[in-house]
Amino acid sequence: MDEDDRLAESFEKQRGQLLTVAYRMLGSVGEAEDAVQEAWLRLARVDAAELDNLPAWLRTVVTRVCLDMLRSRSARHEQLTDQMPEDSVLASVPVPGGAARRDGDPEEEALLADSVSHALLLVLDTLDPAERIALVLHDMFAVPFGQIAPIVDRTPAATKKLASRARQKVHGTPAVPSTALAQQRRVVTAFLEAARAGDLAGVLSVLAPDVVRRADQAALPPGAPAVLRGAGAVAEGTVLLAARSRLAELALVNGTVGLIVAPGGELRFALTFSVEGDKIIEYSVIAAPERLSQLTLAVLE
């Protein structure tokens, strides 16, 4: 095995971890693969024998590439729409040793995309680039602040504050006491599980008799009423949308437990609930873009 082959083998051992780091920083499978590929190209331009810690060096390079991508995205005021894994197609480019860049493995990409909740990706995308880097590296990959600080051009103490501020944004501030939040979570979870299963009786069990469901027209089939009243009508309307509910995830929506539907990290629908005791007395399905943009989202711990 020659030196190029040994270098490629060493890189390949780190590739999965690097992709995971990059995906959590960028929220895009395709962009994560681009960042990792750039690290491979940069590795070819240094003397690998002089690197004391190749995994740490590669992680730092990938992080710096991601930081540049996030800053560029922020400067363009882009709203990232992630490509679904099956849509990610990478061009073939030369790499050291004459090997061609491999296309993404669909199974690997699907696993990568499923490794982080869509709710977390949505909230991470609201952070500024340095906040996102600090939070992802420290909280998700246990990288010490002293190692993160040079990447984000801060002192370790300032980097710790950066991560703390990001953590607060990600987890939000509940609008109700913890006991009420826990009760909401139990009720909304039961509702979601029953809706996913198309279980009419299960949905009925968590609805108040006079429950009201309100929905934006964009969330409904043509001709469907925007308002439904009564447990029977609401339960039937919920079960009709069972396929869509399979994509739903729990999230903190405007400070209370709700649901979001965000395939590929793009927010399509949000559900807000009013809960009394163990019953839902009202819920709303928000789909209008202008209303979605006004929501405050956070991740449920």
Helical (H) or strand (E) element with 249: strand 248-253
pLDDT in tens, 212-270: 999 999 888 888 899 999 999 999 988 877 777 788 999 999 999 999 998 877 899 99
Q: Distance (Å, rounded) from C-alpha 257 to C-alpha 187? A: 9
Output the pTM of the full model.
0.78
Domain(s) labelled CATH 3.10.450.50 in the chain stretch across 178-298
Report the distance separating Cα 223 and Cα 264, nearest Å: 28
Centroid of chain to Cα 264: 8
- The CATH topology of domain 178-298 is Nuclear Transport Factor 2; Chain: A, (3.10.450)
Q: How far apart are CA 221 and CA 240, in angstroms?
A: 10
Q: Which residue has the tokens 């190749």?
A: 54
pLDDT digits (tens, 9 = 90+) for 92-114: 233 333 333 445 567 667 777 67
Please say if the pLDDT value at position 154 is more than 70.
yes
Pick the closest to residue 235 from 271, 181, 276, 283 (CA basis). 283
pLDDT attached to residue 113: 67
Angstrom distance (rounded) from CA 175 to CA 297: 12
Distance from first CA to last CA of the chain, Å, rounded? 48
